[in-house]
Structure 1
């Protein structure tokens, strides 16, 4: 990471779900990362690897059978130990803006998009007056490319892509220091993907009020990540297995972890070759490196879980220029 001050500092974050019969499922294990002021960190990986669970932990939105450990510091506030009152009144919307993975579930079904935007503007910014609220709501919608002629529609009248844009507009209203975008490009065509992630990036780069801002973007869309991310964190089976600069990840020398290389090789504009096998169930993880059963480079050494050393957690990382790896 660069020398910039972290907006978010995660240390040893783990999430475990207690299941019937006393069985535990480790959904996130020992996550360590920072998101610096002015930075976009893209968290990538296959479905079911724990990315959205990590996001829910940061916002206190985990179900009752979840147990957390570690710390997630936003300034002096530990998000993992903050009470619901603090999370509801201080964190959500004000300190952390959320673009949710399932936007339709986060929009109030009986109210129009306009009324929800105006209410959020009034609550988070203090704007008052009918004309001022209307103007602010339309401005927020424009930032997320939400069409003005759909503002008076209800959520059930929107396509998935429009619902996504409505949720993005709501997340941007408070100009929160940390923007947490969980699959923000779902349902969008490529032009709108570019417009959406560019707007999220502008939020981070905004220096008009001298506030430090950062973006944690959870995504399957590697092209979107390449477009706006400064660094990339790769997650597999609940663990971060690689954390490196986006320029090194998408360019030269490329990823060092075999799983990371597999993600890139699966892209149509690359080798278009799927990773063999399937991710393990989080409730039945193999011993040692969880990727070993799918990895052509696996040896007996992989029976022991490799630590995240430098930029990669792997006993047999692909060769990379030492100075490039050290820059992260």
Structure 2
């Protein structure tokens, strides 16, 4: 469904260049969920916005992101803005946004916004069918966004995201501000959509949420993918020191934070960006490790060869 190859995004600022995403490559397939995880500010949401052409004018984007559906292949990075607006967004790719209540228009009811999406995207389903899919009744749809709970707003944007019957869903931090039962419910919905044959790219910093729904996990640090593999492998036997630190920081593990702070994306260190925080650093870390066999770490690669 989606093949991303060498995707890079940088922003030109006065006196600095922010390298938000560097050489990211991954695939998302029908019926599977890939969770992109990492600390806030590592470039996850920038990557998602690049796929939809929603970056500001000072962004420079390289690489490719080919979306294949119905026998057609479209490179999202090189596609004209009009194609992205009229053909891709909402129709080929559905967006479940961060902070759902803030994403909705505040002066219109949930019903009017869902009906507009159904009408403009020529949905094969009615607004009522989409609402019922997510447990929304008439009383819920007649509320304004500020009258909706976090969980109810989540259901509304889920229904809107499915209005165009997209094959790929991009969920950008969809659990922000939700309590754990609502997080589990939201992840359950994403899993159901995968089981129906859709592809899902989940952007999150919540490893527990990723574990609930993901088939595969990609770990991002300072704009680079440092580990990529099956979810069970990454969560139970992480090979990159940063991925291991994320897992160990979970409450059901050692609950120990990773020492230090991530680098600023405008002042990345030479070599491995994680080296200043890593207890396993070696002289080889002065060079940037490639993502080989699912891990970008010289020490892990040496251990695998041994």
Among 11, 17, 20, the alignment partner of 1:17 is 11
Show the counterpart of 2:181: 191
> Helix, strand or coil for the counterpart of 1:317?
helix
CA displacement at 1:214 relative to structure 2: 0.5
Among 98, 105, 111, the alignment partner of 1:114 is 111
Please say which of residues 115-124 and 30-39 is displaced more in the overlay: 115-124
CA displacement at 1:277 relative to structure 2: 0.7
Among 252, 273, 295, the alignment partner of 1:269 is 252
Q: TM-score, normalised by structure 2?
A: 0.93
Show the counterpart of 2:52: 59
- Alignment partner of 1:46 is 2:29: no
- CA RMSD in angstroms comes to 1.9
Q: What stretches of structure 1 of length at least 5 have no aligned partner?
A: 1-6, 128-132, 207-211, 323-328
Among 19, 27, 32, the alignment partner of 1:34 is 27
> Helix, strand or coil for the counterpart of 2:266?
helix
Matches of 2:60 and 2:154, distance apart in 1:
30
Q: TM-score, normalised by structure 1?
A: 0.87
Q: Deviations over 1:121-167 (max 9, x none)?
A: 2222446xxxxx8xx32432343455652211112323444333322
Please say which of residues 98-107 and 115-124 is displaced more in the overlay: 98-107
Show the counterpart of 1:88: 85
User: Residues 85 and 279 of structure 1: is their aligned pair in 2 closer, same or farther, counting only changes over 3 Å?
Assistant: same
Q: Deviations over 1:33-62 (max 9, x none)?
A: 011121100000000000000000000000
Structure 1 stretches of 4+ moved >4 Å: 145-148, 318-322
Q: Deviations over 1:181-226 (max 9, x none)?
A: 01111222222222211211221221xxxxx520000111211111
- Alignment partner of 1:8 is 2:2: yes
Show the counterpart of 2:152: 162
CA contact (8 A) 1:277 1:294 kept: yes
Please say which of residues 271-280 and 182-191 is displaced more in the overlay: 182-191
Q: What stretches of structure 2 of length at least 5 have no aligned partner?
A: none
Show the counterpart of 1:209: none
Please say which of residues 194-203 and 74-83 is displaced more in the overlay: 194-203
CA contact (8 A) 1:175 1:203 kept: no
How many residue pairs match? The answer is 301
Matches of 2:99 and 2:40, distance apart in 1:
14
> Helix, strand or coil for the counterpart of 1:14?
strand
CA contact (8 A) 2:151 2:182 kept: no
Show the counterpart of 1:78: 75
CA contact (8 A) 1:168 1:184 kept: no
User: Residues 88 and 105 of structure 1: is their aligned pair in 2 closer, same or farther, counting only changes over 3 Å?
Assistant: farther
